[in-house]
């Protein structure tokens, strides 16, 4: 009798792993929507200013499969109300070169807060990855719960009722 209870308890603990996946997916979705709302709030009051790229560089990241992502950065300088501001390590697009003038958006109440053009790419990617985590976790949880229920039914069945 004790062995049967131990097997069922162990199987129930396995369900925690996919539930963690669901939680990770939900947290990623939450932060994706939070970032989107923050950016939309910023853009409602933001002003466009022209900025000069003083330094431009690229960084890369290669995954285990050999796929390389390229990231483009710049140190910029801009002026607002006669005061010059600088921002280091701003994400930019791949076509920008040193000396280019780009449009950035600033918060008029905090002109040192400059951002490059807002895009939905990060939001969509975070939702896709978060959704994938949640979906894998949900499907795995359903499958494990089904298996555990079948195991319980088989253990509780009389010998002549077992398959």
| pLDDT tens profile 82-122 | 999 999 988 888 888 999 999 999 999 999 989 887 677 87
Beta partners for 115? 105
pLDDT above 70 covers what percent of the chain? 84
Q: What is the pLDDT at residue 34? A: 93
- Residue 143 vs residue 163, higher pLDDT: 143
Mean pLDDT of 123-127: 90
Distance CA 145, CA 159 (A): 23
Give the predicted TM-score (pTM) of the model.
Answer: 0.63
pLDDT reported for residue 6:
47
pLDDT at 10: 60
Of residues 7 and 23, which shows the higher confidence score? 23
Q: Say how far apart CA 163 and CA 154 lie, in whole Å.
A: 8
Q: Is 79 helix (H, G, I), strand (E, B) or coil?
A: strand
User: Average pLDDT of the chain?
Assistant: 85
SS3 112: strand
Q: Is residue 4's pLDDT more than 70?
A: no
């Amino acid at each position: 009798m004790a062995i049967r209870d131990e097997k069922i308890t162990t199987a129930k603990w396995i369900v925690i792993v996919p539930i963690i996946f669901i939680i990770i997916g939900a947290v990623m979705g939450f932060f994706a929507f939070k970032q989107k709302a923050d950016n939309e709030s910023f853009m409602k009051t933001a002003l466009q200013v022209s900025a000069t790229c003083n330094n431009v560089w690229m960084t890369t990241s290669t995954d285990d499969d050999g796929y390389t992502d390229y990231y483009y950065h710049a140190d910029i300088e801009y002026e607002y109300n006669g005061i010059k501001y600088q921002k280091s390590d701003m994400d930019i697009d791949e076509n920008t070169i040193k000396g280019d003038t780009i449009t950035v958006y600033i918060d008029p109440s905090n002109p040192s807060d400059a951002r490059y053009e807002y895009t939905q790419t990060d939001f969509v990617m975070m939702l896709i990855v978060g959704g994938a985590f949640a979906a894998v976790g949900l499907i795995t949880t359903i499958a494990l719960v089904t298996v555990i229920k079948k195991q319980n039914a088989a253990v509780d069945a009389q010998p002549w009722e077992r398959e």
